[in-house]
Chain A
Amino acid sequence: MRIGKALGVGLVVALVAVAAVTSVTAAQRSKMIQIKGSDTMVNMVQILAEEFMAKNPNIPIAVLGGGSGTGVVGLINKTCDIANHSREIKQSEYEQMAKGGITPREFIIAVDGLSVIVNTKNPVKTLTMADVGAIYRGDIKNWKDVGGPDKAISLYGRQSNSGTYVFMQEFVLGNKNYSPEMKEMNGTAQIIEGILKDEAGIGYAGVGYLFDASGKVRSDLKIVDINKEKGAPAFSPLDKKAVDSGDYPIARPLYQSTAGKPSPDVAKFLQFVTGPEGQKIVEKEGFFTIGPAHQAQNDKNLK
């Protein structure tokens, strides 16, 4: 009997202790802003968060990658406060959010030109949008069909959890399947690693990845100019004017989304990101700043 009582008391004490510990960590966690998602955006958002924390040391922020899908699922599962995503939220994801009573608010924080890269030994300078699509669908299999040497094209791409993968599929492949021969790499850095060594390789990457540590355009990669159709003027993704005007065909907005109206701390961070200081960092990281139309939409979302 006495043993039972002692056990009971012990159990209660243990339960209280566990509850106290978990409630403390939960409080700390709820104070820390969690950001998750797109690997294309993770470096830029990390620097934005660091600059923001230097000015607001009482608002800690943690930034994680994992792909746009990971971020959006994080909003649904409530494991993050802000989702970084480099594609639009899918219809199925909207439906899942609605089931959980979430109406997401989407902020456009930067614009990314997706670039097509090849090995420096590859003589091909220009590809049409349709060429790139056909190459990645597996319809064009040899470089000689697009003005290159007689070599089988070796495809590099991202994995299906990547926003870049989905954006390419929707925007460039015309919502068709990727070739099953495509090598699916674990990150954009690995695509670049592959292209550096593979003379027959072709890959895609966010513009931010085309610069080296000192901010210069990498000379060990070849960035292909893209035109809308054969004979039309071709543009480089490094040409900011062409990206802004839409003359460069493969450009996309980058989003940060919240589940419903952002909390005061989160709103403060989003204001910083979309404001002049944040946009300066966006530009320095190799992305393009947002225009007044996006800015107006963002301001409306904050309220």
Chain B
Amino acid sequence: MNPRILRNLRESAIRAFFFANGVVAVIALLGIFGILLYTAFPAFREIPIDEFLFKKNWDPTSPEKVEYGILSQIVSTLLVTFGALLLAVPIGVGVAAYLSDVAHWRVREIIKPIVEILAGIPSVVVGFLGIVLFSPVLASLFGTSHGLNALNGSVLLAIMALPTIISISEDSLNAVPAAYSEASLALGATRWQTLLRVKIPAALSGIMAACMLGMGRAIGETMTVLMATGNARAFPTGLLQSVRTMTANIAIELGEVPYFTTHYYSLFAVGLVLFIMTFAVNLAADVILNKYQEREQ
């Protein structure tokens, strides 16, 4: 055969192979969404959708009155997640700026691997720390009788989201062209002014993406919040209240629920709502990223 034809054939085979790899992710996503939709849908034959989304009480095994309202869980999930971001974003961006601009390279070589190890700690271990370490500390700090509350969950999730926020923020700070800071310094700005007014704004899209990814990590985390937040069903009135997140609720109840009952379907419906929430977060992150990139060009 003509060697040229052979080479072209190989080229297109390789192209097809990588295209197939790319498509796998899309198929997986569509498959998961399809199964969630298919399994969640029967729940709404018996539960009115507005009751499901806007009622506070969830008690599918109640001997008095069976109720399927997930508002408390949605609010709890958001409370714990935003609490975590409030702690993790300033610290994470601060560490990233320190690593990229201030730290001596030797210090950086030590801190970077430690941050990466932090990402590898299993969530069940973090949750255990929440029970034995943070719970008594938070209790004595805030004068409550116990520390199994939303704040405990937020602190733990902040720890878990930090590695993501730090590494991606640092990468985007490093990606800012050296000419920017050189120009700023040449105009007489201090290093602090350069970092704050030039480098961080230039890297903002990456930093926002880092925060969004950290949020995605926090919103979907299950084991840690299951262990540390107390799982009370009441509508949360503050960070010192025991709360039950959507993920914890699914994890608690899916193991025992009889198959193909309203309770079973409703747990998939909770999963569907969670999926839509994380999807919205990621979509928002993408839109923001694109806007900033357009402006830069």
Contact = CB atoms under 8 A, between A and B. Distances in A.
Main secondary structure of the interface of B (DSSP, over half): loop
A96 B136 CA distance: 45
Main secondary structure of the interface of A (DSSP, over half): mixed
B226 interface: yes
A201 B145 CA distance: 8
B255 interface: yes
Contact of A67 (B136, B234, B255): B255
B184 to A, nearest CB: 52
A65 to B, nearest CB: 10
A141 B62 CA distance: 21
Closest CB pairs A-B (n = 8): A161-B256, A69-B256, A183-B230, A180-B234, A200-B145, A184-B231, A175-B63, A198-B146
Interface residues of A, number: 38
A69 to B, nearest CB: 3
Contact of A197 (B65, B139, B242, B256): B139
7 contacts: A154-B145, A159-B253, A169-B63, A193-B131, A197-B146, A198-B145, A201-B145
A160 interface: yes
Between B139, B227, B242, the greatest number of chain A beta carbons within 10 A of the residue's beta carbon is seen for B242
Interface of B: 57, 59-65, 131-132, 135-136, 139, 145-146, 148, 226-227, 230-235, 242, 244, 252-253, 255-259
Interface in A162-197: 166, 169-170, 175-177, 179-186, 190, 193-194, 197
Given A177-B59, A177-B62, A177-B64, A73 B145 contact: no
A15 interface: no
A159 B61 CA distance: 11
Contacts of A230: none
Contacts of B145: 151-152, 154, 198-201
A85 B259 CA distance: 19
A28 interface: no
Contacts, number: 91
Given A92-B258, A193-B131, A197-B136, 14 more contacts: A66-B255, A66-B256, A70-B255, A73-B256, A73-B259, A93-B258, A161-B255, A175-B64, A176-B64, A180-B234, A183-B242, A184-B232, A186-B252, A193-B132
Contact of A201 (B146, B226, B253, B257): B146
Contacts of B230: 183-184
A103 interface: no
Contact of A96 (B65, B139, B148, B258): B258
Nearest to A159: B252
Contacts of A110: none
B282 to A, nearest CB: 30
Nearest to B243: A183
B57 A76 contact: no
Contacts of A200: 145-146
Contacts of A186: 226-227, 252
A180 B63 CA distance: 14
